[in-house]
Amino acid sequence: MAASARRGQALTLEEICIAALRLIEVGGVEGLSMRKLAAELDVNPMSLYHHVENKTELLKQICRLTAGTLELPPDDGTPWPDQLRALAHAYRALAHAGPSLWLYVEQHPDVLPEEDGLWEVFDRNLAAVGIPDEQRPHVRKALYAFCTGFISAELVGALDRPDGVTDIDRTFEVAIDLIIAGLERLSAQQP
Amino acid sequence: MAASARRGQALTLEEICIAALRLIEVGGVEGLSMRKLAAELDVNPMSLYHHVENKTELLKQICRLTAGTLELPPDDGTPWPDQLRALAHAYRALAHAGPSLWLYVEQHPDVLPEEDGLWEVFDRNLAAVGIPDEQRPHVRKALYAFCTGFISAELVGALDRPDGVTDIDRTFEVAIDLIIAGLERLSAQQP
DNA sequence: ACCTGAACACCGTTCAAGT
DNA sequence: ACCTGAACACCGTTCAAGT
């Protein structure tokens, strides 16, 4: 009674990841269970452990897979405000493509090896702004925090409530404008 | 075989909440279980359900309890940048007092009835900045998102990594400065 | 009114046994 | 090499029975 007993083909890691992603986007990360996943694949729950160390390791794999699809703005001569805007939009688009998983990554940043590309884009553009070296790591982290903070607040519904204003895309633009304005002002203050 | 069988006194809601808070700060919200909580109180797990509807309702109670301790800056004549700074620091202090619970609230904003006081402080000060009515809801949400975003990123450790810079308090100040600078610039652009 | 034990429907994961 | 069933140690919660 081998694989062919329950299913035609052998189980693959890719197959597992795809099914897991489907389950996650339906029921959230906390709605994913190894047993449900196995049922989805018509397989014994324990078979999964031949392809994946454990549940958190599976999640890590999936997170890295989707994080790799982030489209970073290239290092052409584009003015820094446009590059920062582009990065913010790309990040938000990625979040909207898989909200549950994105929220999981936000709370477990250690699942990603290091978001090198992201920091590079920030640094390159902060240099263009004219932020002094000493301040750059701080500003870089502030930008990161602002960006993830907005998206996270949006995804969990924290921005739905205080009023009837529902144009969240507009709010995002205003938020970006605010940051850019702040950077411009810091820039103007530099010698 | 009543209460006196296992414990001297009757079980109270307050007692349950305190024990739950202790467990949460030791092992995180996901480390809290009704069964462990009961063990901590030396009580049958099912006894808890006489004082609390279920686990999520218990969490809601605890969240509301601690959220009530946020110290909002009063509506005296203090200049708006100072008031916003004070609010940011109060919010961060609350988060640091109970990181796990704070992160839980951040991902489940519906556990709090409505953060009225918070929005009032924002609005009052944005009026002082001179932000036009039409933009105010957007800017208000942006400020909220930035503030929670920073604290959340800090708590989960997302700001530890990119470099050796560890003075996170300084980073927080820089982030606030950046926002204030942005608001000042918007303010200057108003007629 | 408050507490309890047994039970149900779930988890993740280990381990020995199968092909 | 890959799959499986039984088992272990956990969950939250219901329900009928106890005082």
- Tens-digit pLDDT profile for residues B160-183: 977 777 799 999 999 999 999 999
What is d(CA B16, CA B61) in angstroms, rounded to the nearest whole number?
11
Question: Residue B139 corresponds to which tokens in the numbers above?
Answer: 């800017």
Q: Which of B139, B149, B185 sits opposite A152 (nearest CB)?
A: B149
Q: Quote the pLDDT of residue B130.
A: 94
What is d(CA A166, CA A187) in angstroms, rounded to the nearest whole number?
33
Whether A154 contacts A55, CB under 8 Å? no
User: Straight-line distance from CA A36 to C1' C19, in Å?
Assistant: 25
Strand, coil or helix: what is B2?
Answer: coil
Strand, coil or helix: what is B81?
Answer: helix
Question: Residue B186 corresponds to which tokens in the numbers above?
Answer: 């918007």
B50 CB-to-strand C distance under 7 Å: yes
Question: Residue A86 corresponds to which tokens in the numbers above?
Answer: 């582009």
What is d(CA B20, CA B11) in angstroms, rounded to the nearest whole number?
13
- Tens-digit pLDDT profile for residues A38-92: 999 999 999 999 999 999 999 999 999 999 999 999 999 999 999 999 999 999 9
Question: Residue A67 corresponds to which tokens in the numbers above?
Answer: 């994080």
Which residues are CB-contacts of A28 (< 8 A; sequence separation ≥ 6)? A100
DSSP summary character for residue A46? G
Q: Quote the pLDDT of residue B1.
A: 35
In window 95-134 of A, residues with CB < 7 A from nucleic chain C are none
pLDDT at B137 over 90: yes
The per-residue DSSP string of A68-92 comes to TT--PPPSSS--HHHHHHHHHHHHH
What is d(CA B175, CA B37) in angstroms, rounded to the nearest whole number?
39
- Tens-digit pLDDT profile for residues B16-51: 999 999 999 999 999 999 999 999 999 999 999 999
Instruction: Tell me the pLDDT of chain A averaged across its residues.
Output: 91
pLDDT at B5 over 60: no
User: For residue B153, what is the nearest residue in chain A, using CA coordinates?
Assistant: A145
Map tokens 């202090």 to a residue: B93
Burial B127-158 (b: 16+ CB within 10 A, else e): ebbebeeebbbbbbbbbbbbbbbbbbbbbbeb
Q: Closest Cα to residue B6, out of B47, B43, B50?
A: B43
pLDDT at B7 over 70: no
DSSP summary character for residue B87? H
pLDDT band at B159 (very low <50, low <70, confident <90, very high): very high
Residue A124 at interface with chain B, using a CB cutoff of 8 Å = no
pLDDT at B190 over 90: no
What is d(CA B64, CA A125) in angstroms, rounded to the nearest whole number?
41
Question: Residue B38 corresponds to which tokens in the numbers above?
Answer: 């009961």
User: Straight-line distance from CA A39 to C1' C13, in Å?
Assistant: 17
pLDDT at B107 over 60: yes
pLDDT at B132 over 80: yes
Instruction: Tell me the pLDDT of chain B averaged across its residues.
Output: 91
Whether A3 contacts A9, CB under 8 Å? yes
What is d(CA A126, CA A139) in angstroms, rounded to the nearest whole number?
8
What is d(CA B180, CA B159) in angstroms, rounded to the nearest whole number?
21
- Tens-digit pLDDT profile for residues A3-41: 334 566 788 999 999 999 999 999 999 999 999 999 999
The per-residue DSSP string of B117-162 comes to HHHHHHHHHHHHHT--TTTHHHHHHHHHHHHHHHHHHHHHTTTSSS
Whether A186 contacts B178, CB under 8 Å? yes
pLDDT at A2 over 60: no
Helices of type H across chain A: 13-27, 34-40, 55-67, 80-97, 99-107, 116-129, 136-156, 168-189
pLDDT band at B8 (very low <50, low <70, confident <90, very high): low
What is d(CA B159, CA A145) in angstroms, rounded to the nearest whole number?
8
Cβ within 8 Å of A, B 84-123: 103, 106-110, 114-115, 119
Residue B142 at interface with chain A, using a CB cutoff of 8 Å = yes
Distances B10 to B14, B32, B42, B52 between C-alpha atoms, Å:
11, 22, 11, 15
